Amino acid sequence: MAKKIQAVKGTREFYPQQMALRNYIYEKVRAAAQAFGYQEWDAPFIETIDLYAAKSGEELVKQQSFTFQDRGGDFVTLRPELTPSLARMIAAKQGELTFPLRWWSFGPFWRYEQPQKGRSREFFQWNIDMLGADTPEADAELIAVGATFLRSVGLSPERALIYVNDRRLMDSQFDALQIPAEKRLDVSNLIDRRAKMESAKWDAYALELGLSQTQLDGLKSMLGDFDLWQKSPELTRLFSALEALGAREYVKFDPNIVRGLLYYTGTVFEAFDVSGSLKRAIFGGGRYDNLLADVGGQPLPAVGFAMGDVVIGIILQEANLLPDFTPSPAQILVTVFDESLRTQSLVLSAELRAAGLRVMVSPELSKLQKQFKFADKMKMKIALVLGPDEAEKGTVVVKNLESGEQVQVAREALVEFLKP
């Protein structure tokens, strides 16, 4: 008995049914992006470690990347994210690109972390960005693309929402509370963790960080103020643009959304499943105006978001929104009656394919019963029988497997009969 070799931990095996879901997501992502005029692009799956060292978070590079030495001795990494590659590619052609740039991509990424629900080591991610525009209307457009996607897969605003905040607004609030600049990162992380912690513990943790009781009270009242956005000119414009774009119903202001990544400079947003069991973001993003300059390009304002395929896949399944799966792409099975008629069945199948139909033929001699059973399991629509009687009369039996009805059709009229 051969030793069973398992798939590498955290990788994904796409059996046809899972592959169909992956392609379904890809298709909906493409439709949403293209509806707003975004161009598809991609970058290498392998990059040198240096590309990420410049910009990505310490943990992402040092602990969560698949990094190894290639045969030439260079350290390379399976890409854990796309933005550094985007920055490089844009910097290289900055003079010849037409701005604002609207680009999207869907491809594989790898992060070395503990697999759990909604998180694997290998995943597909949709990245979509607009570069070269710095208006709230640009931010609104990206959020509207996200809303368009949610709507297209059947997730209504009752089921999924996009929560929005603005780093600039938060900074002005931190100013008012006199929270010093060096503590703001900790405070942001604190806010990020609030939903996951008991409130007493959270309070204690806040005081531990060095917040005064007054600051803590101020912070809590700020985080409970869902009308705070009205104090932000950017968010006010953002919401009115979302209204105009028909995406307002999907979007809610939430001061608790801060996002962990350092590079966001303005609007930040995250989409969540409102009623499901999974408390992970469907997608998340925001404005990052300094990033391209930071990695050595010309300053370029940018806004974008990313969506992994794992979480959205689980949510679609839980919401019973998976597309119907048809095992076989072929709708027609040509049965093989016996040895003497095998060639005729093959010829028949070729004729039908030449007419643009998708057709399978049994590759071996077996009972018609078995062939029909196969067609049924593969959820095929039609089975053709070419037996001695039909061969003699120049006809073919066409059986509709859904209704169970069957008719004899003349061979010459068959293509016309079968065409949808």
Strands 332-334 and 359-361: parallel
* 40, 50, 389, 416: which one binds RNA (CB under 7 A): 389
180 belongs to the binding site for RNA (CB under 7 A): no
Least Å distance between CB 236 and RNA? 26
Residue type, 359: V
- Among residues 12 and 237, whose Cβ is nearest to RNA? 12
9 belongs to the binding site for RNA (CB under 7 A): yes
Half-sphere exposure of 224 (CA within 13 A, CB side): 6
Long-range contacts for 210-215 (Cβ within 8 Å, ≥24 apart)? 210/183, 211/179, 211/183, 211/187, 215/177, 215/178, 215/179
Least Å distance between CB 305 and RNA? 7
**Site size for RNA, by CB under 7 A?**
62
| Binding segment toward RNA, per CB under 7 A, in 100-108, 138-146, 394-402, 412-420 | 394-402
* Residue pair 282/126 in contact by the 8 Å Cβ criterion: no
390 belongs to the binding site for RNA (CB under 7 A): yes
CA 145 to chain centre: 13
* 49, 209, 368, 415: which one binds RNA (CB under 7 A): 368
Torsion of CA 102, 106, 111, 113, to 10 degrees: 110
What is the distance between the alpha carbons of residues 242 and 244, in angstroms, rounded to a whole number? 5
59 belongs to the binding site for RNA (CB under 7 A): yes
Beta bridge partners of 284: 270, 306
Question: Encoding tokens for residue 52?
Answer: 């990420």
Q: Give the DSSP per-residue string, 310-366.
A: HHHHHHHHHTT-PPP--S-S--EEE----GGGHHHHHHHHHHHHHTT--EEE-SS--
* 402, 407, 416, 419: which one binds RNA (CB under 7 A): 402
| Binding segment toward RNA, per CB under 7 A, in 86-94, 141-149, 227-235, 387-395 | 387-395
* 52, 55, 64, 66: which one binds RNA (CB under 7 A): 64
Least Å distance between CB 176 and RNA? 25
| Binding segment toward RNA, per CB under 7 A, in 159-167, 276-284, 345-353, 411-419 | 276-284
CA 18 to chain centre: 14
DSSP 3-state assignment of 257?
coil
- Among residues 213 and 275, whose Cβ is nearest to RNA? 275
Helical residues (DSSP H) of 224-308, grouped into ranges: 233-245, 291-294
| Binding segment toward RNA, per CB under 7 A, in 20-28, 134-142, 168-176, 306-314 | 306-314
- Going by C-alpha positions, the residue among 340, 347, 334, 342 that lies closest to residue 384 is 334
- Among residues 241 and 418, whose Cβ is nearest to RNA? 418
* 194, 406, 411, 415: which one binds RNA (CB under 7 A): 406
DSSP 3-state assignment of 258?
coil
Show contacts with RNA in window 66-125 (CB under 7 A). Answer: 111, 113-120, 123, 125
- Among residues 15 and 98, whose Cβ is nearest to RNA? 15
Question: Encoding tokens for residue 386?
Answer: 């070419």
What is the distance between the alpha carbons of residues 127 and 362, in angstroms, rounded to a whole number? 43
Least Å distance between CB 91 and RNA? 21
Least Å distance between CB 233 and RNA? 26
Cβ-based neighbours of 9, under 8 Å, separated by 6 or more: 115, 121
Binding mask 188-217 for RNA (x = CB under 7 A): -x--xx--x---------------------
* 306, 332, 360, 418: which one binds RNA (CB under 7 A): 306
- Going by C-alpha positions, the residue among 82, 99, 91, 84 that lies closest to residue 41 is 82
Show contacts with RNA in window 221-260 (CB under 7 A). Answer: 259-260
* 47, 283, 304, 313: which one binds RNA (CB under 7 A): 283
163 belongs to the binding site for RNA (CB under 7 A): no
Half-sphere exposure of 32 (CA within 13 A, CB side): 28
Least Å distance between CB 77 and RNA? 14
Binding site residues, RNA, CB under 7 A: 1, 6, 9-10, 57, 59-60, 64, 111, 113-120, 123, 125, 189, 192-193, 196, 259-261, 270, 279-284, 306-308, 310-311, 337, 367-370, 372-373, 375-377, 383, 385, 387-390, 397, 399-404, 406
